Amino acid sequence: MLNHTPTEIAERSALRINPAKTCQPIGAMYAALGIHRCLPYSHGSQGCCSYHRSHLTRHFKEPVMAASSSFTEGASVFGGQPNLMEGLKTVFTTYDPDVVAVHTTCLSETIGDDIPQIVGEAKRQDIIPEGKYVIHANTPSYVGSHVVGFSNMCTAMATYFAQEVKPARRRHTDATQINIVPGFVDPSDMRELRRLAEATGFKVTMFPDTSGVMDAPQTGKHIFYPDGGTTVDELKNLGRGVATMALGWWASRDAAIQVEKKAYVPREILDLPIGIAATDRFMQILKFRGGVITPDLERERGQLVDLMVDTQQHFHGKKVAIFGDPDHVLALTEYVRDLGMIPVHVLTGTPGKRFTSEAERILGPKAASSNIKSEGDLFTLHQLIKNEPVDLLLGNTYGKYIAQAQDIPFVRVGWPILDRVGHSLIPTLGYAGAVRLLTKMTDALLDRRDRDAPDHQFELVL
């Protein structure tokens, strides 16, 4: 399909071909699903909402519930206030959510709809029932990416709900609380982060938390609001935390800063804990904040180290290309570096100068010979790979076309993964997630070796 991609790279100032991102509202919708009994609400056209719902459904293999203002030509000209007012009335009457999380689209942002004013008017007209909440995030589609939209909705959660907790009340908590903003990751990863933090003795408030929502079990009947998600009470009590751990600078940082501003809880901004070094830093912060590293956790780490040693000969010197969300890409770059691989192409579609400087820091002296692209696209990545081939490609499902065209072993990681299953149930974060990633990469490389091996080199043993 991509066999005719030219090798010669031409500078493009505006045009994007096969972007390595999608728009803000889909990230905001996913974040909103991580609040218990929350209905995401897309303030724009019905088509936008339908696309975002279907794309999330294809990744998670779960139904995604969301409402829309369903703009028509009239709303596009005169504004969407009547649509949002009527939509909120219908939503609370018909679906009875505890929270409605409104996110804007390019259409409502271009018009300039004032969402807080509209919500205020809805309250004055008693459209919003007592004890129910409407929050909002501005998520224009024409700037940022889905990661930025996720961040904006997480920040809105802190803005609307986080409250300062007085020192006297802090002493009456059942256990030491740690807040975690997990980043744009799968529910399996959120479960793993909670498990690791709870194993050190903390009570965890994670926001958002899509575990139990986007990986709900099959019960034989549809449950509109599954059991999972962060409750409103938990969001109000973010101030009880000894710290807020933001995992991923792009997806989580702003929410942690907002909790610090509103509830005076100190922030800890870390990389996504993918691989051994980043997971070690995550565990060290938990220890610094009062957690206890148990023998079981040390054993998990030791098993990962043992596997890294056992497979080192298969990774040493192998060239790898990585693309996707910036938080994922940087963490993966560090992990493959620790495995002895050479990241020669590192690309994200989310804009931001920090990506380049962080990648250069991780790669050190090797950065000079690597192609680091912020705000790049998959057409550019394909061209880079054609000019300098690699042994392995890491990224989301859209990389399969490049992998097929260039005949490269390919490991799916990140978001979205549309053509495989299991990622919602099996983590890629933490020590256990690092083991899973390592085995997937090993399998991909060894499958290629077996495929290409002549009969006298077709080995039975690793």
d(CA 324, CA 45): 27
pLDDT of res. 126: 94
Q: Characterize 233-260 residue by residue with b for buried, 16 or more Cβ atoms within 10 angstroms of its Cβ, and e for exposed.
A: ebbebbbbbbbbbbbbbbbbbbbbbbbb
pLDDT digits (tens, 9 = 90+) for 248-306: 999 999 999 999 999 999 999 999 999 999 999 999 999 999 999 999 999 999 999 99
354 and 408 together in one domain: yes
Question: In this structure, is residue 16 part of a structural domain?
Answer: no
pLDDT of res. 395: 97
214 and 313 together in one domain: no
Phi, psi for residue 36 in degrees, rounded to 5: -65, 130
Question: In this structure, is residue 117 part of a structural domain?
Answer: yes
Angle at which helices 249-263 and 146-161 cross, to 10°: 10
d(CA 136, CA 122): 13
270 neighbors 281 (Cβ within 8 angstroms): yes
d(CA 175, CA 123): 37
Counting Cα atoms < 13 Å in the Cβ hemisphere of 92 gives 20
308 and 442 together in one domain: yes
Question: In this structure, is residue 250 part of a structural domain?
Answer: yes
Assigned token pair, 179 = 């807040």
pLDDT digits (tens, 9 = 90+) for 380-403: 999 999 999 999 999 999 999 999
- According to DSSP, the β-strands at 67-68 and 392-395 are unpaired
For residue 285, how many other CB atoms are within 10 A of its CB? 17
DSSP designation for 319? E
Q: What is the largest CA-CA distance in the chain?
A: 80
Question: In this structure, is residue 14 part of a structural domain?
Answer: no
310 and 413 together in one domain: yes
Question: In this structure, is residue 15 part of a structural domain?
Answer: no
pLDDT digits (tens, 9 = 90+) for 196-218: 999 999 999 999 999 999 999 99
134 and 188 together in one domain: no
Question: In this structure, is residue 12 part of a structural domain?
Answer: no
- According to DSSP, the β-strands at 342-348 and 319-324 are parallel
122 and 198 together in one domain: no
- Residue-wise DSSP of 176-206: -EEEEE--S--HHHHHHHHHHHHHTT-EEEE
- Residue-wise DSSP of 243-308: -EEEESHHHHHHHHHHHHHHH---EEEE----SHHHHHHHHHHHHHTT----HHHHHHHHHHHHHH
| 310-to-46, 47, 251 alpha-carbon distances in Å | 52, 50, 34
154 and 199 together in one domain: no
389 neighbors 26 (Cβ within 8 angstroms): no
Question: In this structure, is residue 146 part of a structural domain?
Answer: yes
Burial class (CB in 10 A: 0-12, 13-18, 19+), 61: middle
- Show which of 247, 269, 291 is a domain's final residue: 291
Look-up of token digits 């649509």: 83
Read off the CATH number of the domain in which 443 is found: 3.40.50.1980
| 275-to-123, 368, 391 alpha-carbon distances in Å | 47, 23, 20
Query: For the chain, how many structural domains are there in total?
Result: 3
- According to DSSP, the β-strands at 319-324 and 244-247 are unpaired
Going residue by residue through the chain (462 aa), what tens digit of pLDDT does each one get?
Answer: 677 888 888 888 778 889 999 999 999 999 999 999 999 999 998 888 999 999 999 999 999 999 999 888 776 777 788 899 999 999 999 999 999 999 999 888 888 889 999 999 999 999 999 999 999 999 998 899 999 999 999 999 999 999 988 765 555 555 699 999 999 999 999 999 999 999 999 999 999 999 999 999 998 888 999 999 999 999 999 999 999 999 999 999 999 999 999 999 999 999 999 999 999 999 999 999 999 999 999 999 999 999 999 999 999 999 999 999 999 999 999 999 999 999 999 999 998 889 999 999 999 998 999 999 998 999 999 999 999 999 999 999 999 999 999 999 999 999 999 999 999 999 999 999 999 999 999 999 999 999 998 988 888 887
Q: What is the residue range of 421's domain?
A: 300-456
